């Protein structure tokens, strides 16, 4: 499990807010999650984790599409999350 140096702003918020609704490309409370992520001190670690793993949802103020583009630019091949479970 990822250990952050700083506590994340999203702790205690509804986790469902950070994932798209079924069949939708939008997040249910996008303005809220953008505000939560914007000033978060754990954002660097969160982004690194999200870029290096094949995970869904809104992480470090990025969507899945934005992270996909960033991975191509940075030549990052994400590994499946289940490989970190050991």
For the stretch 37-86, pLDDT in tens is: 998 999 999 999 999 998 888 999 999 899 999 999 999 999 887 766 55
**pTM, whole model, 2 decimals?**
0.79
3-class SS at 84?
Answer: helix
Query: DSSP per residue over 17-82, as a string?
Result: GGSPPTT-SS-TTHHHHHHHHHT-TTHHHHHHHHHHEE--S-BTTB-HHHHHHHHHHHT--PEEGG
Over the range 21-41, which residues count as b (16 or more CB within 10 Å of their CB) and which as e? eeeeeebebeeebeebbeebe
């Amino acid at each position: 499990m990822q250990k952050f140096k700083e506590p994340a702003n999203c702790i205690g918020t509804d986790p469902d807010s950070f994932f798209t609704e079924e069949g939708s490309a939008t997040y249910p409370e996008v303005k809220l999650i953008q505000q939560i992520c914007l000033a978060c001190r754990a954002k660097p670690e969160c982004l690194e984790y999200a870029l290096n793993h094949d995970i869904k949802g809104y992480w470090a103020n990025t969507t899945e599409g934005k992270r996909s583009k960033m991975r191509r630019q940075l030549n990052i091949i994400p590994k499946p999350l289940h490989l970190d479970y050991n």
